[in-house]
Structure 1
Amino acid sequence: MAESNNSKSDYSSSVTIKSTSPTTTRRRRRWKNMDKKIRSELTSQDIRDLRDVFDAFDREQHGFISILDLRKALRVLGFRIKRNDVYEIARDVGIERLGDVSFSEMLEVIISMQGDSRDEYEEISQGFKMLDTEKKGHLSADDLLKAAETVEIKLTNRMAQDMVYEADQDGDGFICLNEFIDVMRQTNLYN
């Protein structure tokens, strides 16, 4: 019996319990609470698509992005947001460390920005206007390349040309607002 006590105490002294920081605990708790809301607001495909956007800005694969990268990601998704507003929105959803935004926190921000009455056409139109920086009323492959460069997404000239070709319904070599809306409504973000 003495041996079993020794081996028991040896075992318990060799086990290390990893402590969890209060921030990590709050994030886990928030994710559990948010998980139901996320599933009710976003489809699994939406979440996968948004994960791709998040990963594009999480260049070092740490699982976090900066608040400025959050703003860039939101702009890519068609949200109009000023630099100062992103800090306020982040605080509103409970992001405590503004330089440290997790994927679930980004989803919280997106859901809070969508609001209860989501106007898909307005969201898509805003995205189009952001890409149409010269206010020409249409998008070219060059416009797509400039937008990709702005948010540091790798896009080749061929890829941009293919995107225009796929969206261009009238054969003029450009994407007009209606064509842009049609393409965007076919994506999982709007289904």
Structure 2
Amino acid sequence: MSKNQGNLSNRQMKDLRDAFDLFDRDKSGTISLSELEQVLIALNFKPTDSLVRKVMKEMDIDGNGSVEFDEFVKVMKNVYERKFTDDEMRRVFKCFDIDGSGYVTADELHEILKRLNRDISKNQIREVINEVDMDHDGKISYEEFVHIIQQT
């Protein structure tokens, strides 16, 4: 276990690796400023140059202009350790709820992943939704989303 890992579980480390790999679009082993900007855009944020630079500065601990996996873990470890406010959770949920219906559908999840250059089949997306979908209506409600986030 690396010292950056702290008390993160193996599942959390795998989740962080998966997230890092999603950001690292060119598979260079680092997240560049432009990759960070592209991910924010794909998640329906409309980042200004100054916002992207600010986020990069917070993540780029050694100041070399890119984020390595260890830096990513150090920053993201705080996500696992803190509780999010309802307002924060709703803002994140809205990034995925593209049509504002109050639900995240398979099509919306597919669209977000496509924007992130992840070619995942609709079947795989349905499997993910089935794992999260407690009331079995085929979509993810805000309450189901919160439940999953709080379990991580």
> When the two structures are superposed, what TM-score results if normalisation uses the length of structure 1?
0.60
- Partners of 2:46 and 2:20 in 1: how far apart? 17
Deviations 1:8-51 (A, max 9, x none): xxxxxxxxxxxxxxxxxxxxxxxxxxx64x33363343222211
Instruction: From 61, 64, 87, give the equivalent of 1:94.
Output: 61
Structure 1, unmatched stretches of 5+, are: 1-34
Aligned in 2, Cα 1:43/1:122: closer, same or farther, shift over 3 Å? Answer: farther
Computed over aligned residues only, the root mean square deviation of the Cα atoms, in angstroms, reads 3.3
Structure 2 residue aligned with 1:156: 121
Instruction: From 85, 88, 96, give the equivalent of 2:51.
Output: 85
Per chain length, whose mean CA-contact separation is higher, i.e. which structure has more relative contact order (CA < 8 Å, sep 6+)?
2
What is the 5 A alignment of 1:90-169? 90-92=56-58, 93-98=60-65, 100-111=66-77, 114=79, 117-119=82-84, 124-169=89-134
SS of equivalent residue, structure 1 residue 87: helix
Deviations 1:92-112 (A, max 9, x none): 4534233x3211122233346
- Partners of 1:72 and 1:109 in 2: how far apart? 19
Aligned in 2, Cα 1:185/1:75: closer, same or farther, shift over 3 Å? Answer: farther
Please tell me whether the aligned partners of residues 89 and 109 of structure 1 are also in contact (alpha carbons under 8 angstroms). no
Please tell me whether the aligned partners of residues 140 and 174 of structure 1 are also in contact (alpha carbons under 8 angstroms). yes
- Partners of 1:75 and 1:49 in 2: how far apart? 21
Structure 2, unmatched stretches of 5+, are: none
Deviation at 1:153, TM superposition (A): 1.7
Aligned in 2, Cα 1:49/1:115: closer, same or farther, shift over 3 Å? Answer: closer
Q: Which amino acid aligns with 1:164?
A: I
What is the 5 A alignment of 1:160-179? 160-179=125-144
- Partners of 2:74 and 2:90 in 1: how far apart? 23
Deviation at 1:59, TM superposition (A): 4.3
SS of equivalent residue, structure 1 residue 40: coil
Higher helix share: 1
Deviation at 1:157, TM superposition (A): 0.9
Please tell me whether Structure 1 or Structure 2 has the larger radius of gyration of its CA atoms.
1
Aligned in 2, Cα 1:73/1:45: closer, same or farther, shift over 3 Å? Answer: farther
Please tell me whether the aligned partners of residues 129 and 139 of structure 2 are also in contact (alpha carbons under 8 angstroms). yes
Deviations 1:154-188 (A, max 9, x none): 211111222223322223222111122223334xx
> When the two structures are superposed, what TM-score results if normalisation uses the length of structure 2?
0.73
